[in-house]
Amino acid sequence: KAGVTQTPRYLIKTRGQQVTLSCSPISGHRSVSWYQQTPGQGLQFLFEYFSETQRNKGNFPGRFSGRQFSNSRSEMNVSTLELGDSALYLCASTGLAGNNEQFFGPGTRLTVL
């Protein structure tokens, strides 16, 4: 079974631009969660989607948004990029095994100049 995939793997943007990151979960997984990882703040939860609905949202400004499609693929969008948005963005999918185990993708490294 293929793992979680994220595209692109690396991205360089300038302040004020917007960016869209994509995540394809493991086949059959319906829950997708997004995390931001920075040296200063560590790993922080952004939001989680299940069956195309956002179930929970972390403490991030409204510039961070996401969505999930009917095939469970998810995208997150960051508008009006700031230097502080430079981070590794990880997505994870959760199956229905009932153990809440999250399988992570390789991440997208976003650099904002």
Partner 1 sequence: AQTVTQSQPEMSVQEAETVTLSCTYDTSENNYYLFWYKQPPSRQMILVIRQEAYKQQNATENRFSVNFQKAAKSFSLKISDSQLGDTAMYFCAFIQIQGAQKLVFGQGTRLTINP
Q: What is the DSSP string of 59-94?
A: S--TTEEEEE-TTS-EEEEE-S--GGG-EEEEEEEE
Using rule CB under 8 A, residue 5 touches partner 1: no
We find the least distance from the C-beta atom of residue 4 to partner 1, in angstroms, to be: 10
Query: Binding of partner 1 at residue 104 (CB under 8 A)?
Result: yes
- Least separation, in Å, of the C-beta of 19 and partner 1? 18
53 binds partner 1 (CB under 8 A): no
Among 7, 56, 80, 111, binds partner 1 (CB under 8 A): 56
Sole window of 14-22, 50-58, 60-68, 70-78 interacting with partner 1 (rule: CB under 8 A): 50-58
Distances (CA, A) of 52 to 30, 33, 58, 71: 9, 12, 17, 9
